[in-house]
Amino acid sequence: MISSSDIYEALFDFPVHLYAKNTSGEFIFCNRKQAVSAGFTDETQMLGKTDFDMPWKREAWQLRAFDKLATENNQTIAVEEAATLNDGSLVRFISYKKPFYQVNKLIGIIGASYPIQLNTANNNIKNLTYIDSRTNKPIALSKKQTICLKLLLEGKSAKDIARETNNSFRTIQHHLDAIREKNNFPTLKALLISVREYCATSG
């Protein structure tokens, strides 16, 4: 008969990223695949740290937003995410996130992430979802607008985005204005604040 310790060891060596976080976003469990992706040699080195301490800190706002989406709706969600790993590669994942309870108390989330594409080109980023803190609903974005918003959240200017995506400054400004107007934000700064506030309050 298989023991629980055998199953636990198998999870550590499972070939997908497995992890659990508490409501503050701190890792309370991860398998070897997840630890190695963050540059750690031992799983325990990751415990107590958050996504903002990881190589994917630029994408941490979005990862935390999806954690919150799962707990607030009290259901398992399947989402497409992107994260920069320890080797510098930007990887797209399909992630499943489920609220984790202990004696009817919410502890956090349990997650499993499966890589679906390895690519550092922003042109290959598809439909990442960003959340509006005013409504707790996804911000309406096209593929090109998604790319622009992701780079804007990384602190890049419209000129930087134009250069990185091989577009004119006017084209990028058009995309950014469209995001702001379509989602009823008075300024781009207000848009960025809304996205980040949603994640900052996820604890």
For helices 169-182 and 143-153, angle between their N-to-C axes, nearest 10 degrees: 100
- Looking at the structure, do residues 76 and 46 belong to the same domain, yes or no? yes
Highest-confidence segment of 50-54, 64-68, 124-128, 135-139: 50-54
Q: What is the pLDDT of residue 106?
A: 95
* pLDDT tens, residue by residue, 96-154: 999 999 999 999 999 999 887 433 344 444 456 677 767 777 777 887 888 888 788 77
- Looking at the structure, do residues 62 and 25 belong to the same domain, yes or no? yes
Residue 18 has pLDDT above 90, yes or no: yes
Q: What is the pLDDT of residue 42?
A: 87
For helices 169-182 and 188-200, angle between their N-to-C axes, nearest 10 degrees: 60
Domain of 35? 1-120
Residue 39 has pLDDT above 90, yes or no: yes
Q: What is the CATH number of the domain that holds 176?
A: 1.10.10.10
Taken in order 24, 137, 73, 11, the sign of the CA dihedral is: negative
